[in-house]
Chain A
Amino acid sequence: MNLDILIEFAINVLSMGSLYALISLGLVFIFGICQLINFAYGEYITISAYAFYFMSVFTNIPWPIMFLLIILVGVGVGYLSELVAFRPFRGRSLDALLVSSFAISVILQRIFQIGISPRSKAVSVPAFFNLNVSLFGVITPLRNLLLIGVTLILLVVLLIIMKRTPLGIAMRGASENFVTARLMGVPANLVISVAFIISGILAAVVAVFWSVRTGSVEPFMGATPLLVGFIAIVIGGMHSLVGSVIGGYLYALVANVLSLVLPTSLLSYRDAIMFVIVISFLVLKPEGLVRGSYEEERVG
């Protein structure tokens, strides 16, 4: 195999994988603590993407400040959605939470559709994102390298927070066993809010890179990242932060390989194949690749 192609493939997998890792990390942060699969997570991404769209098209805010503002939007979305839509269900059945998050996602999609536009809107992307750079003789847009770098930094920062700070340790405790953690004096509201806020921040970062990649924003854009996140967290392990990152990169690898290997007639079935992999994982190896605090829940 040609070395150039190999490098190009590696860069593609790594940059896509970074994006997917961030997506699945955002899902797992909430799942680990609340056991909630947040269907509204896709809409967190959409909201931040719309913030990006409005600021980039209608204002002249310099880029660094704009990105900070987008992240603030992510923080607000995460915190508020928890307060309004999920806190009333604390201690209720999981199904109620799931249905509620599904309803929230529908509400937000329709609000974007009515309030902004059902059609997709083009974002104006800062020029340096699409600058082509040459790496080991392979030409690639700067945004791919930027994405890998940003993801790396975020992962390291999160790692330090989770391992070193009291808050991080409390959160890890809460995700291992919420009831015991509360008995040890971990404040439930704080931990859950922080989980949603981190999830919102990750969604904001994903939103920027996702809309730079596609060049536009639309009301239903959150669906694809949500599905990607589902696949990645199931493969990697739903109860482990490390697992979800690994799952994200692995998904990118499998998806890229499938695109190369599958004949064109079967290419449109790629999603179906991915989800069959998901189902077989859930049936055969439900703890995922990284076990985390998984407990056997099945019957029969």
Chain B
Amino acid sequence: MSVLSHKSPQGNALSVISIKKSEAYFSFANKWSTVVILVGILAIIGSFIWWLNMPLIEDMFTSSTITLIMVLGFQLYMGNSGILNWSYVGYIGIGAFASAIFSMDPDVKALQLPTMYPFLVDLHLPFPLALIGGALFATLIAAIVAWPLMRLSDSVGAITQFALLIVFNVILSQWSEVTNGPRTFTLGHSRQTTLWAALVVAIFVIAAVYYYKESSLGLKLRATRDDRYAARSSGINLVATRYVGYVISAFIGGFAGGLFSHYILSITAASFYMQELFVVLSMLVIGGTMSVSGAFFGTLVVTLARQGLRQVELGLTKSGFEASGTTEIVLAIFMIIFLIWRPRGITGGSELSWSSITKLCRRVFRRGSN
């Protein structure tokens, strides 16, 4: 929508004409400035933290970059289609387990996971290929189950997606021949998701999610979100459009899951359930579901808030007050406050771009000079 309603600045006729001439270039540059700014912020923070060379902060950055990738994939479908996609966390889980199975050494697998099928034990791929393999596997599952579900919207759609998440969770937590059942699945090798690996993937994903949103597919999906019937009557195939978005979103989720499992190194099916869903959802809702910048800044703000609250929680627990869980309460309250007073999140549903920054600066300076 921001693309369609792009307005040229006011001025006399001549300048309007001259702007018209260069508008194509400027709107292109302005459009892509979002990606440049977001990637720039992330890269600067990342390099600075790498330069600091403090393992604790580096770990924090890596894990929150992985979360950022998860939220971006979540935004890709939920933000553009307007359908609450509860099952997304399930694809993160599938990607996490699949890539871990691909990357583990056969000997370690035989030792750690005695119940595993023999043909899975023999599988072995290098880390990057294992990541892609895990993501493709999640995509495959999504591609198989999703088609009939794409017809449903609103509350029926939400229950379906919720039911799908439960199905995934039951399968992940019970299939001991593959996921080691409800027990912990330990990868048994050193950490492979480094700061740089997470950062590079995140940069690609930011660009990809933004490109998808601006592409004709994304535009179609946003049209189905804004008005289902008008979109249909303009010749958009709703099911196919949603299907493509959903499957791409599952791919990014699966990839993020692979990065996550190679970062955290021991996973259980319970890591990919309501709690994780709540984290991802709160980030997206607080940031603003409708824009990539919303996903970005939501992740940033909520991550910082969570770290701060975690410290408060630890302090309270040390002083003898059982307080684990306060973080979730505060986040949930903020989520409700945002939904009531600012339902489009911090970013208000628009993208951060060069023109929006200059506009903001101008407003701030004008207010300052008065």
The reply on A77 being an interface residue by CB < 8 A is: no
Determine which of B159, B323, B339 lies in contact with A37 in the assembled complex, contact meaning CB atoms within 8 Å. Answer: B159
The complex places the Cα of A164 from the Cα of B36 at a distance, in Å, of 66
Q: Across the interface, name the chain A residue whose C-beta is closest to B181.
A: A268
Closest-CB distance, B281 to chain A (whole angstroms)? 7
Q: Across the interface, name the chain A residue whose C-beta is closest to B240.
A: A300
Query: Assuming the A-B contacts A88-B340, A99-B84, are A299 and B232 also in contact, with contact meaning beta carbons closer than 8 angstroms in the complex?
Result: yes
Query: Assuming the A-B contacts A96-B343, A102-B278, A107-B329, are A300 and B238 also in contact, with contact meaning beta carbons closer than 8 angstroms in the complex?
Result: yes
Interface string of B155-176 (1 = CB under 8 A from A): 1101110111011001100100
Chain B residue contacts of A238, Cβ below 8 A: 155-156
B155 contacts A35, C-beta separation under 8 Å? yes
The reply on B154 being an interface residue by CB < 8 A is: yes
Listed stretches A1-9, A54-62, A278-286; interface member: A278-286
A-B contact count (CB 8 A): 132
Determine which of B150, B171, B239, B343 lies in contact with A269 in the assembled complex, contact meaning CB atoms within 8 Å. Answer: B171
B339 contacts A107, C-beta separation under 8 Å? no
The reply on B123 being an interface residue by CB < 8 A is: no
Listed stretches B49-57, B101-109, B258-266, B330-338; interface member: B330-338
Closest-CB distance, A111 to chain B (whole angstroms)? 7
Determine which of B149, B332, B335 lies in contact with A279 in the assembled complex, contact meaning CB atoms within 8 Å. Answer: B149
The complex places the Cα of A103 from the Cα of B332 at a distance, in Å, of 5
The complex places the Cα of A279 from the Cα of B281 at a distance, in Å, of 23
B163 contacts A230, C-beta separation under 8 Å? yes
Determine which of A89, A227, A286 lies in contact with B156 in the assembled complex, contact meaning CB atoms within 8 Å. Answer: A286
Chain B residue contacts of A102, Cβ below 8 A: 278, 281
Query: Assuming the A-B contacts A37-B159, A269-B170, A275-B166, are A299 and B153 also in contact, with contact meaning beta carbons closer than 8 angstroms in the complex?
Result: yes
SS class, residues of chain B in contact with chain A:
helix
Near A by CB (< 8 A), chain B positions 305-345 give 322-326, 328-329, 332-333, 335-336, 339-340, 343
Closest-CB distance, A238 to chain B (whole angstroms)? 8
Chain B residue contacts of A92, Cβ below 8 A: 339, 343
Closest-CB distance, A120 to chain B (whole angstroms)? 16
Q: Across the interface, name the chain A residue whose C-beta is closest to B328.
A: A110
B159 contacts A114, C-beta separation under 8 Å? no
Q: Across the interface, name the chain A residue whose C-beta is closest to B316.
A: A114
Q: Across the interface, name the chain B residue whose C-beta is closest to A230.
A: B159
Chain A residue contacts of B329, Cβ below 8 A: 106-107, 110-111, 114
Determine which of A31, A100, A269 lies in contact with B155 in the assembled complex, contact meaning CB atoms within 8 Å. Answer: A31
Would you give 8 A-B contacts (Cβ < 8 Å), ordered by A?
A: A37-B158, A89-B339, A96-B343, A98-B84, A110-B329, A230-B162, A275-B167, A299-B151
Q: Which residues of A contact B (CB under 8 A)?
A: 31, 35-37, 85, 88-89, 92-96, 98-100, 102-104, 106-107, 110-111, 113-114, 118, 227, 230, 234, 238, 268-269, 271-272, 275-276, 278-279, 282-283, 286, 297-300
Q: Which residues of B contact A (CB under 8 A)?
A: 82, 84, 148-156, 158-160, 162-164, 166-167, 170-171, 174, 228, 232, 237-239, 278, 281-282, 285, 322-326, 328-329, 332-333, 335-336, 339-340, 343
